[in-house]
Amino acid sequence: MKPLLAGGILTLLLASPLSAADLTATIDDGTEIARIEIAEGQDWCVLWRHSVQGFDVEDCYRNMDGRMVLMRSHQPDFAAGLGHIPGRGRQVSDGDGGYWIEDIDEPVPGNAYVLRPGSMAVDHRLAAGGTVVSLSETAAHRRVRIALE
């Protein structure tokens, strides 16, 4: 808070309150299969098991002023389809044989994207705070719109 004295009246200028948004997952017929409140500055991840190697991969996002921003990605191996793209973040060791791609800081156009979750063998999931929602359990092989609203 910063006091401002104008015309003999003391006014307090307050910073705007931190805004929360909802992370939603909606299948193509309009059915909502997940809704998780995401506070300003809070991270969440999309997790899945790599279909060839079987380890978990994760892409992590943040609510930045109401925008969905891809912040980092964890990849335990350079398996098929995975890897760091030079100029897009920086690769650092995870200390366990895998790596994080940090500082991606890439806004997602329109605050949403479409994902087609795999079977339960792949198990695409949303994870935020202590909440984990399996998209594969409800919508395997269907178009799912993931959005920050």
- Please answer whether residues 90 and 102 qualify as being in contact, where contact means their C-beta atoms are separated by less than 8 angstroms: yes
27-79 residue pLDDT tens: 999 999 999 999 999 999 999 998 777 788 899 999 999 999 999 998 876 65
- Please answer whether residues 24 and 112 qualify as being in contact, where contact means their C-beta atoms are separated by less than 8 angstroms: no
Alpha helices, H only, 10-126: none
Please count the other Cβ atoms lying within 10 Å of the Cβ belonging to residue 118. 16
To the nearest whole percent, how much of the chain has pLDDT over 70?
Answer: 81
Q: Return the pLDDT at 76.
A: 76
Look at residue 4 and tell me if it is in a domain.
no
Look at residue 2 and tell me if it is in a domain.
no
Contacts of residue 97, Cβ cutoff 8 Å, sequence gap at least 6: 76, 77
Q: Return the pLDDT at 51.
A: 73
Look at residue 7 and tell me if it is in a domain.
no
Q: Return the pLDDT at 89.
A: 81
Look at residue 28 and tell me if it is in a domain.
yes
74-97 residue pLDDT tens: 887 665 555 656 677 888 888 887
Taking the alpha carbons of 121, 119, 105, 147 in that order, is the dihedral positive or negative? Answer: negative
Query: How many structural domains does the chain have?
Result: 1
Look at residue 10 and tell me if it is in a domain.
no
Look at residue 12 and tell me if it is in a domain.
no
- Give CA–CA dist 24/119, Å, rounded: 20
* Residue 4, both tokens: 């401002």
Q: Which strand ranges, in their side-by-side order, compose the sheet holding 32-38?
A: 32-38, 21-27, 144-148, 112-115
- Give CA–CA dist 104/64, Å, rounded: 14
Question: End-to-end CA distance of the chain, in Å?
Answer: 28
Look at residue 134 and tell me if it is in a domain.
yes
Q: Which domain holds residue 55?
A: 18-148
> pTM for the full model?
0.81
Look at residue 113 and tell me if it is in a domain.
yes
- Give CA–CA dist 128/68, Å, rounded: 13
